[in-house]
Amino acid sequence: MTSYVQYVQHFNHSNYSFQFSNPETPGYVGFANLPNQVHRKSVKKGFEFTLMVVGESGLGKSTLVNNLFLTDLYPERHIPNAIDKIKQTVKIDASSVEIEERGVKLRLTVVDTPGFGDSINTGECYASILQYIDEQFERYLNDESGLNRRNITDNRVHACFYFISPAGHGLKPLDIAFMKAVHYKVNIVPVIAKADTLTKQEVHKLKKKILEEIRANGINIYTLPDCDDDEDEEFKLQCDQLKTAMPFAVVGSNQIIEVKGRKVRGRMYPWGVVEVENPEHCDFIKLRTMLITHMQDLQEVTHEVHYENFRSDRLSGPGEVDERDSGRKQRLSIRFNLTLSSHNLIALVPTRFST
Ligand SMILES: Nc1nc2c(ncn2[C@@H]2O[C@H](COP(=O)(O)OP(=O)(O)OP(=O)(O)O)[C@@H](O)[C@H]2O)c(=O)[nH]1
Ligand SMILES: [Mg+2]
């Protein structure tokens, strides 16, 4: 089987240039590239990936998710104009798309969650999200111990994009409380929402502050794996750029705007247009590139670290919490680098289900 590094390198060489190109550039990485990874990994039974978005209400979670998946997964689909805006999310809503290419199936699920409101009790805001994550682990555990072990559907949450408000001076107590509640359960990828409301300098300052606070609070976010020394310079550079961009500062939009004859997804202001897929304007492309090139790693960490924590908790039973905690830390310290250093689609079958 091809190793993770090999397949990323191959992916990197054949399809991708590290300049974080936009859709009109030949090196652009879209979701269409995913099935290639599936082939490269020789995953015969298919590939399942679940992404969850969480954060305060109104930060643009639903908009971003639409931007991430609409572009490539629904090329023919009607893109809503400014009038049919995305409605406020009121319940946990999981939508899946099945992609099949050359006989290989890929199932992508996006779990959109209702934004945290003004509840005084912080736990209340996100209890249902924690429950959702645990339920998926529980389901997997049951399936794993069942008779039909070979055909388990993996609904575990492999990545959680956590949206941070651009308006504050860093993390809010609710952000810290949520991240601490889930960092042993899921790969957290923090993102700064609505980055178009910040200057370049403000983005830089906020990123630094957020990373400091994450570290000070002992929160384990998802960190990209280190590159091996023998990897080529381009690949290392790409990884470094993705690492240093974290937490990704993103912009979302439901509008297609014409700029100098080009149609772009963007936000129009009296002083100009902010383009979602322009790497000079925000980190959207970097976030998407990270997601695509690290899907396999996100899955592996979910299985080997988070699910393993869940499983050993279940198997060890109550009364051994302290020991379990130290066990968790050990496992996590192996995987997580706490320094924070840094279409050809032949079938699209969108399905929708709610919890
Ligand atoms: N300035 C700015 N506005 C944005 C951005 N993304 C979304 N919005 C706007 O913010 C509002 C809320 O967007 P949603 O995507 O519904 O936010 P949400 O986080 O899903 O909200 P809940 O469902 O309530 O949790 C809408 O009016 C969007 O057009 C962005 O990047 N910048
Ligand atoms: Mg929403």
Q: What structural domains and CATH numbers belong to the chain?
A: 45-315 (3.40.50.300)
Calpha distance 69→225 (Å, rounded) = 25
Residue 104, token pair as written in the block: 């290989």
Evaluate: CB of 255 within 6 angstroms of ligand 1. no
**pTM, whole model, 2 decimals?**
0.81
Under 8 Å between Cβ of 183 and 222: no
Residue 126, token pair as written in the block: 């996100």
Q: Relative to the CA of 116, which ligand 1 atom is closest? A: 25
pLDDT at 319 (0 to 100): 54
pLDDT at 266 (0 to 100): 94
Q: Tell me phi and psi for residue 266, to 5 degrees.
A: -165, -175
Ligand 2 ion: residues within 5 Å (CB)? 61-62, 89
**Neighbouring-strand partners of residue 268:** 273
Calpha distance 148→135 (Å, rounded) = 19
Nearest CA to ligand 1 atom 28: 60
pLDDT tens per residue across all 355 residues of the chain: 333 333 333 333 333 334 555 555 544 445 555 545 544 544 556 678 999 999 999 999 999 988 887 544 444 545 555 445 567 887 898 988 776 655 656 788 999 998 887 677 777 778 999 999 999 999 999 998 887 777 788 999 999 999 999 999 999 999 999 999 999 999 999 999 999 999 999 999 999 999 999 999 999 999 998 877 887 788 788 888 999 999 999 999 988 999 889 889 999 999 999 999 999 999 999 998 898 888 889 999 999 999 999 999 888 866 554 454 545 544 454 444 333 333 222 223 333 333 3
Query: Strand pairing of 104-112 and 47-55?
Result: parallel
Q: How many other CB atoms are found less than 10 A from the CB of residue 338?
A: 14
pLDDT at 68 (0 to 100): 83
The gap between the terminal CA atoms of the chain, to the nearest Å, is 36
* Complete edge-to-edge strand list for the sheet that includes strand 272-275: 256-259, 262-269, 272-275
Nearest CA to ligand 1 atom 21: 58
pLDDT at 87 (0 to 100): 78
pLDDT-above-70 percentage for the chain: 69
Centre of ligand 2 from the C-alpha of residue 284, in Å? 18
Q: Relative to the CA of 163, which ligand 1 atom is closest? A: 19
